[in-house]
Structure 1
């Protein structure tokens, strides 16, 4: 029950890690804190009088037994900063969450964060998927925020070859954005979905910057794939720097607003990333990227020609493909359909085509 009491304390409005730590040093356990009288807590001088009253109002309204039963029925795990199952790297940041609510299981693999803008380009999407797939294939766990855009593609890429962790700016029983519910369920099955907020907490604007410190705090380094100059991803990069973690950035066109933030990070000293090997070189020179080892099973010469013509960042329409190949219309349409089903190409919302994550033999 100790973790339940600690979770209940964390949910108290205004009572952050620093306050909990002071109380733990004085009362030794979260259970003792929860059961202490108002006079005992005031006399400890761990909290201000105002915060002490907030804690007592919370204790009167919060049914700790009901919460414990509900979390247990939902298979929600509680990870305490004072226990061994808590991410070691996260313990070392300035303001770690006292409790992490978790669906799934956190592994002990080295972790790298991949973040980026909610507004993305075909270029950014392809980079996020391919880079995360390559990193996950080499036993790195990819950490991201499950937001629409680059975060989503980072999770999907990682799931195709390994594991990933989603850090939410809401409760772990809330699917946000809604279209990512299926993705979050899959992440919970193969990796972990975590949050410092109680399971039913709705997403609030202030939760997301706080969430970013967990993303960077769990990770050896943070890779920014695509970000404008005011992107929240840059907050994550700044937090990583403040904790002495590595920051990487994928360069983009100088004419693209979506790459302006990444290009600025590189100007400021972030490590430039063009492939997964650039990241491996920072941690283990013996690791060789599998990106160049990927082979594709082409079912026909037409498939090979179409794939070689397409790129990850320059979409082509069906008419452009037909014109360049000088081939029959119906045949190329069929070839593209088969390649889409196998995940070799992707059709954009505009009806154009680009390469997708490569099929590995």
Structure 2
């Protein structure tokens, strides 16, 4: 099976002014992807949302003024990207990965470097052990090579071992390297040359982190989330019981992606995680054909084409001035009812709306206030909880 070439996805390019405003908003304190989306949905544009951040965080109970990224901050980061040969792609723009934009809390902006066509082609994720066996690395390369030959881009995390083998085997056909730090701070250092091969050929490097950001341990699960989000399916090869690759597999399952797992010896600790995935229902994978045949139905029913054509989940619009929004903000008694409905246990936002009997717009606005004040935890799947005071 050879994938049909897909047309360039639809979308609207951001203006330079909008891109600066988007970059300022996502780099401001307490603004994550979900908060960014809700702010745009409520205020209509990043510029309007930026004006309202200080007042929103004050009403949410912030103990100090929120840091709002400045125009100069955003311009410096844009300039750093351009000097590095990179750019930023917004979630509603044509070059944003179609599968990624469908996940809950997709990054509003991606820093990208390389061949942008790779971002909009169907992708297979391949991840696994950093201390891979020779046979594990060989099998990862086999899957990557055959998937690339039929038209898939291979996405991985640039790590040692399985990731490296998958990237090297698909440099010529197209591979995406998802980074945990800024694009200019690849990890591990020994794969800097590999990253240069990827971005100078048919591949692409992507990151949601700022330029200059050194990756920390807690940044790698976000990188794993990118891999799962970009891909239609993920193949796991040699993952230990507490491997980061299992985080990728969990995200993939949450996103409705296919999870392929390669069985291994029960005596090899590197295979305990993949064997557990098989017990949980992952697709048994003993040849590259298992992966390609498993992904084939997605191509046959044009899933990827439908993703291309769907409306972007974040779109700027003309809206009322921030002052008018402030006049319609919930009163103190309504705000208190919403806060009382929250607790340390995650709850669906729809349940908060039903429980309080207040309008959805009022509930979402108060949740934004709490979020920007650092008083709210978002758990994905529309679940929120209050930050414990302990």
**If the TM-score is normalised by the length of the shorter chain, which range does it land in?**
0.7 to 0.9
Q: Give the superposition deviation at 1:75.
A: 2.1
Give yes or no for contact 1:41–1:52 (8 Å, CA) kept in 2: no
5 Å-filtered alignment, 1:9-24, equals 9-24=25-40
Residue 248 of structure 2 corresponds to residue 236 of structure 1: yes
2:43 and 2:59 map into 1 onto residues whose CA distance is 13
Q: Partner of 1:182 in structure 2?
A: 193
Cα separation, partners in 2 of 1:286 and 1:233, compared to 1, 3 Å: closer
Q: Partner of 1:145 in structure 2?
A: 157
- Please report the TM-score for the alignment, with normalisation by the length of structure 2: 0.67
Match 1:111 to one of 123, 128, 131: 123
Task: Name whichever of 112-121 and 20-29 sits farther off.
Answer: 20-29
Q: Give the superposition deviation at 1:268.
A: 1.2
Q: Give the superposition deviation at 1:210.
A: 1.3
Instruction: Give the 3-state SS of the residue equivalent to 2:92 in structure 1.
Output: coil
Give yes or no for contact 1:19–1:46 (8 Å, CA) kept in 2: no
2:45 and 2:92 map into 1 onto residues whose CA distance is 10
Question: Structure 2: any 5+ residue segments left out of the alignment?
Answer: 1-15, 300-390
Q: Partner of 1:79 in structure 2?
A: 89
Residue 207 of structure 2 corresponds to residue 195 of structure 1: yes
Q: Give the superposition deviation at 1:53.
A: 2.8
2:267 and 2:42 map into 1 onto residues whose CA distance is 57
Give yes or no for contact 1:14–1:51 (8 Å, CA) kept in 2: no
Cα separation, partners in 2 of 1:105 and 1:46, compared to 1, 3 Å: farther
Instruction: Give the 3-state SS of the residue equivalent to 1:146 in structure 2.
Output: coil
1:200 and 1:170 map into 2 onto residues whose CA distance is 8
5 Å-filtered alignment, 1:91-110, equals 91-106=101-116, 107=118, 108-110=120-122
Give yes or no for contact 1:166–1:194 (8 Å, CA) kept in 2: yes
Give yes or no for contact 2:24–2:73 (8 Å, CA) kept in 1: no
Instruction: Give the 3-state SS of the residue equivalent to 1:255 in structure 2.
Output: coil
Q: Partner of 2:175 in structure 1?
A: 164
Instruction: Give the 3-state SS of the residue equivalent to 1:53 in structure 2.
Output: coil
Task: Name whichever of 85-94 and 21-30 sits farther off.
Answer: 21-30
5 Å-filtered alignment, 1:19-98, equals 19-34=35-50, 36=51, 40-42=52-54, 48-50=60-62, 53-56=65-68, 58-59=69-70, 63-98=73-108
Match 2:287 to one of 253, 275, 290: 275
Instruction: Give the 3-state SS of the residue equivalent to 1:114 in structure 2.
Output: strand
Cα separation, partners in 2 of 1:267 and 1:173, compared to 1, 3 Å: same
- CA deviations over 1:111-141 (Å, ceiling 9, x no partner): 0100001121111111111211111111100
Q: Give the superposition deviation at 1:55.
A: 3.2
Q: Give the superposition deviation at 1:237.
A: 0.2
Q: Give the superposition deviation at 1:41.
A: 3.5
2:190 and 2:145 map into 1 onto residues whose CA distance is 21
- CA deviations over 1:74-96 (Å, ceiling 9, x no partner): 22111111323211111111121
Q: Partner of 2:22 in structure 1?
A: 6
* TM-align CA RMSD: 2.3
Q: Partner of 2:166 in structure 1?
A: 154
Q: Partner of 1:300 in structure 2?
A: none
- Please report the TM-score for the alignment, with normalisation by the length of structure 1: 0.72
Q: Compare CA radii of gyration and give the structure with the larger one.
A: 1
- CA deviations over 1:28-56 (Å, ceiling 9, x no partner): 2223434x2xxx44556898353993333
Cα separation, partners in 2 of 1:260 and 1:197, compared to 1, 3 Å: same
Cα separation, partners in 2 of 1:42 and 1:202, compared to 1, 3 Å: closer
Task: Say how many residue pairs are matched.
Answer: 280
Cα separation, partners in 2 of 1:193 and 1:180, compared to 1, 3 Å: same
Dislocated runs of 4+, deviation >3 Å = 31-34, 40-49
- CA deviations over 1:288-333 (Å, ceiling 9, x no partner): xxxxxxxxxxxxxxxxxxxxxxxxxxxxxxxxxxxxxxxxxxxxxx
Q: Give the superposition deviation at 1:257.
A: 0.9
- CA deviations over 1:128-181 (Å, ceiling 9, x no partner): 11211111111100000001111111101111x411000000000112100000
Give yes or no for contact 2:113–2:199 (8 Å, CA) kept in 1: yes
